[in-house]
Structure 1
Amino acid sequence: MTKTVTNRTISALALACVAALGLTACSSDGNSISKQANQGSDKNYLAGDGTLAQLSPSQRGKPVTLTGKLLDGKAWSTKDHSGKVIVVNVWGSWCPPCKAETPDLQKAWTKLKKKGVLMIGIDRQEGPQTAAAYLRSAGVTYPSLRDDGGAALVALQGKASATPSTLVLDKQHRIAARVSGPTTDTTLIGLVDDVLKKG
């Protein structure tokens, strides 16, 4: 059964998942959540299903202004990187799909940075020391913003309700592509290459 999901529904669903399950990964895809719930899984989180969305330049909304502190405490903002395509990944070391996609994200990063693309993580629901320790152990070399109580997710215009979620911001920092759920290096590089070609 297909459902139409509005931005208001997405926000309410995300908040409900967090409140009900504590440490959770909540999907914006109502059918995906229902399917997982009906299966009676005991994995204690609800994840996005990897759904892809791409927007042509004429369909993209307002630019994203993402600001915060990195895990090491330094300030970071998209405003300091004008004209750059930026990949944003929402993650947490408590999230199994996030951990599963980490090697692919690092692999994609090593290729994308050669094209002048930036990558930034947004850590959720844990302290910066825990997050930094995980990234060191996983060999991740791109930076991450520390958990800020959800302000960064608001800045992403409701487009990152699942954990993990990956967004590609174009050179004007408009959302040009999104993966709701885990992704692979091949998929992510393909999405970024499309954005680089189309502007």
Structure 2
Amino acid sequence: MPGTHRFRTAALLAAVTTVLTLAGCGTEPGGDAQAAFVSGSGGLDTVPPAGRRPAPAISGNDLEGRPVSLQGFAGKVVVVNLWGSWCSACRAEAKGLELAFEKYRDQGVQFLGINTRDTDVTNAEQFESGHGIGYPSIFDPDGTQILKFPKGSLNPEALPTTLVVDRQGRLAARAMKAVSVDDLDALISPLLAEH
């Protein structure tokens, strides 16, 4: 059946693309997106205010089934962390994210997780409980919310990825690695100083 073979080939190519993207191999060298941001040291990228693009309308239910959205935190600096319970680098950065959340929560900074590729919410709940995570995470098992980030912007290309949205709702910074409290300080502090 020729149609079945084409379908299987297309499905295989889509799966390979997904794996490469999650492995961090899906970046596009050279495009105009690269010209818009300044790479810092250690995998931290920032965008000057004039070059920032609006963050997408991210929304869904948190791990307890309550609705949550990025736009619900309008006027705040928002740290968006993409993670999976199965991801060892995500486990490594969890404590630092929670420490930074506690440090900045009274300074107009909100943290929001996006849990992906966990097919059972129980795994995600156990991850958050085990790491003492106090901020909400959207349950996004099929990556629907992640795909809303515009290609050619500071879009996530690997897990974990941490994105920082400025007070005007624009994508301002990205870390495509397990972040430390120092990394988060370097991404958040300049945005708090902006008026």
Structure 2-normalised TM-score? 0.77
1:141 aligns with 2:134: yes
2:58 — aligned with what?
66
CA contact (8 A) 1:50 1:183 kept: no
Alpha-carbon RMSD across the aligned residues, in angstroms, is: 2.4
Structure 1-normalised TM-score? 0.76
Gaps of 5+ in 2: 1-12, 28-40
1:27 aligns with 2:19: no
- What's the CA shift for 1:79? 2.3
1:34 — aligned with what?
none
Inter-partner Cα distance in structure 1 for 2:116 and 2:58? 15
CA contact (8 A) 2:117 2:143 kept: no
1:16 aligns with 2:9: no
- What's the CA shift for 1:156? 2.3
1:10 — aligned with what?
none
Identity %: 32
1:166 aligns with 2:162: yes
Larger radius of gyration: 2
Indicate which of 100, 112, 118 corresponds to 1:108.
Answer: 100
Gaps of 5+ in 1: 1-12, 31-48
Structure 1 162/149 Cα, relative in aligned 2: closer, same or farther at 3 Å? same
Inter-partner Cα distance in structure 1 for 2:133 and 2:50? 34
Inter-partner Cα distance in structure 1 for 2:89 and 2:17? 17
Aligned length: 167
Structure 1 169/14 Cα, relative in aligned 2: closer, same or farther at 3 Å? farther
CA contact (8 A) 2:17 2:26 kept: no
- What's the CA shift for 1:14? 9.0
Inter-partner Cα distance in structure 1 for 2:83 and 2:166? 21
